[in-house]
């Protein structure tokens, strides 16, 4: 849940600092639980094992290094031929042949700071890419980034077995005259089949960061390294739009330099995921039973390999350990499988960008909200269902509640079931009762349900009534009254199936009642 939703569940006396601390703990625990569930669901799938399992990472690293060497060779060939596109994408999108005049190339680079003559980057991709801090376009910063990028390239090339990289070596022997004429750092000489080209300044830096992105998956200005680079890398700011004023330039520079210095002095991230030291330590313990100590009368104590079918003898136990790891790798993998699975789980859980680690925001359930009450129209609707026995075929239909349409509104006289259709907060509507002495056709007056029930009990229950479609159906033309048997009460009570729709009546006027004589009954005296 969000922070706003979380604090609504806390006590009122919790301070904001404590609430924030509790929320961080809740979020960490929630993400951990979510990642564990995700891991248990996908841990046997190859794509996840290739990212985190130490056994699979052996082949992954080997394939990665081979791909890097192949891609680097293609990069150098395009660089020498002048066909290299130094745009922010992974592949060239707009390739342009270069000329032999390197001074024009440098002028073009220093003019806009975003593309070189030897391979113009696509303007569309440049403007679509994320921009680094504006201070990145300063001449001073460009020189620092060139030197740092070259050191980083040498580090990454050594990890992947790339040799003879011309970009990682620079010609530092430059005269003061060259420096006074606008040179901004090291110069890299590119010798092609028919051209000799010098790279320096912004053009050299763009080439270096392009190499880092396409060969090593390093987004230099984005401060990230990935084995699966996608999209566009960050690019340095346009020198033409930078006016020299920056609010947090020093902070950004410190962050950039410290990030890449840690990588230069550190290890390959994939090699660290292999957990070699932990596996070797566990292997030493589990392989001890496979080191056999043998007494030789001529040479003294010998140490033999305890693997199945192996009869090798060695002078020391450590040689047997080494032999087992080299010649019986399958045995070592089986014996250290538990440790490898633990490393697999730790690698996944320790990766903040691991799949399944993004919190899924849950919509909170309404607090104290039960079943919603239907609108007033539905609450006042007849609960007997859609089917009405006395309803005309052409009359409009009403939605029922889904109950049995054959259930009458009264279970028996005096039973409060007739009030079940109305909630407690809605009073039951009055019931039309015939005036004493009137026939079954009226006139009627409205009376409260309690009074009506009392009157019906005093007069006795009505005889059985058979609705239309029963054993004795009504015949057409015989009138709308029900068929009645046995002695009739003093007045005819309307059939339950012919009751008026039980909704509140605001006013009533009997147009058929005689105007000169109307008997008024005070039902409160009953």
CA distance 167 to 76: 9
What is the structure's pLDDT at 489? 45
CA distances from 4 to 310, 358, 360, 432 (A): 67, 19, 15, 56
First-to-final CA distance of the chain: 63
Helix %, strand %, coil % of the chain (to 5)? 45, 10, 45
CA distance to 56, 284, 395, 516, 518, per residue, from 513 (Å): 97, 111, 27, 9, 7
In DSSP terms, 355 is beta-bridged to none
pLDDT at 288: 84
Residues lower than pLDDT 70 in the chain = 92-123, 170-186, 191-195, 241-246, 299, 361-427, 437-441, 458-508, 513-526
Q: Please tell me the total number of residues recorded for the chain in this structure.
A: 526
* Contact in structure between 364 and 5 (CB atoms under 8 Å): yes
Domain ranges within the chain, ordered by starting residue: 3-42, 74-271, 275-350, 375-470+483-526
Query: Which residue's entry shows tokens 């080299």?
Result: 326
pLDDT at 158: 94
Phi and psi for 310 in degrees, rounded to 5?
-105, 135
Q: How many CB atoms lie within 10 A of CB 303?
A: 20
CA separation for the pair 416, 326 (Å, rounded): 90
Instruction: Give pLDDT, residue 178.
Output: 47
Exposed e or buried b for every residue in 385-410, given b needs 16+ CB within 10 A?
Answer: beebeeeeeeeeeeebeeeeeeeebe
Phi, psi of 263 (to 5 degrees): -70, -40
Both tokens of residue 45? 């799938």
Q: Residues of the chain with pLDDT > 90: what percent?
A: 25
State residue 213's pLDDT score: 95
Q: Could you give the count of Cα atoms lying within 13 Å of 451 in the half-sphere of its Cβ? A: 16
- pLDDT score at 65: 95
Q: Cβ atoms within 10 A of the Cβ of 509, count?
A: 5
Show the tokens assigned to 405.
């349409």
């Amino acid at each position: 849940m969000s922070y706003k939703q979380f604090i609504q569940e806390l006590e009122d006396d919790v301070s904001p600092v404590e609430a924030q601390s509790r929320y961080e703990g809740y979020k960490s625990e929630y993400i951990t639980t979510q990642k564990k569930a995700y891991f248990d669901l996908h841990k046997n799938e190859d794509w996840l094992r290739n990212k985190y399992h130490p056994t699979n990472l052996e082949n992954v690293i080997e394939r990665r290094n081979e791909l890097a060497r192949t891609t680097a060779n293609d990069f150098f060939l395009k660089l020498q031929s002048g066909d290299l596109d130094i745009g922010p994408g992974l592949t060239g999108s707009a390739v342009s042949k270069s000329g032999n005049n390197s001074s024009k190339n440098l002028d073009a680079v220093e003019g806009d700071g975003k593309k070189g003559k030897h391979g113009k980057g696509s303007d569309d991709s440049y403007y679509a890419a994320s921009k680094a801090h504006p201070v990145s376009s300063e001449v001073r910063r460009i020189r620092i980034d060139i030197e740092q990028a070259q050191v980083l390239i040498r580090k990454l090339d050594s990890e992947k077995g790339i040799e003879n990289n011309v970009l990682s070596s620079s010609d530092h022997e430059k005269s003061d005259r060259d420096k006074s004429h606008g040179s901004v750092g090291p110069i890299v000489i590119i010798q092609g089949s028919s051209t000799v080209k010098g790279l320096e300044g912004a053009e050299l830096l763009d080439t270096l960061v392009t190499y880092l992105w396409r060969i090593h998956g390093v987004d230099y200005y984005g401060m990230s390294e990935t084995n699966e680079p996608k999209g566009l890398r960050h690019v340095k700011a346009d020198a033409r739009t930078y006016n020299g004023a920056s609010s947090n330039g020093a902070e950004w520079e410190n962050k950039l330099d410290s990030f890449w210095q840690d990588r230069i002095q550190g290890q390959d991230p994939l090699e660290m995921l292999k957990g070699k030291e932990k596996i070797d330590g566990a292997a030493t313990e589990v392989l001890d039973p496979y080191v056999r100590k043998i007494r030789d009368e001529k040479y003294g104590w010998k140490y033999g390999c305890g693997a199945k079918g192996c009869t090798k003898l060695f002078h020391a136990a450590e040689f047997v350990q080494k032999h087992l790891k080299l010649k019986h790798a399958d045995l070592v993998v089986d014996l250290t499988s538990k440790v490898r699975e633990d490393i697999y789980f730790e690698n996944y859980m320790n990766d903040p960008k691991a799949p399944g680690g993004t919190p899924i925001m849950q919509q909170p359930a309404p607090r104290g909200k039960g079943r919603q009450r239907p609108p007033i129209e539905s609450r006042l609707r007849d609960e007997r269902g859609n089917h009405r026995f006395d309803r005309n075929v052409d009359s409009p239909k009403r939605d029922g509640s889904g109950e049995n349409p054959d259930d009458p509104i009264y279970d028996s006289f005096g039973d409060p079931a007739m009030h079940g259709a109305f909630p407690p907060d809605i009073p039951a509507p009055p019931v039309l009762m015939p005036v004493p002495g009137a026939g079954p056709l009226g006139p009627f007056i409205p009376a409260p349900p309690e009074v009506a029930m009392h009157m019906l009990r005093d007069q006795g229950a009505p005889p059985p009534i058979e609705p239309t479609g029963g054993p004795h159906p009504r015949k057409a033309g015989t009138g709308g009254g029900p068929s009645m048997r046995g002695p009739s009460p003093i007045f005819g009570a309307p059939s339950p199936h012919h009751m008026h729709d039980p909704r509140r009546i605001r006013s009533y006027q009997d147009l058929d009642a005689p105007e000169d004589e109307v008997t008024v009954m005070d039902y409160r005296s009953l």
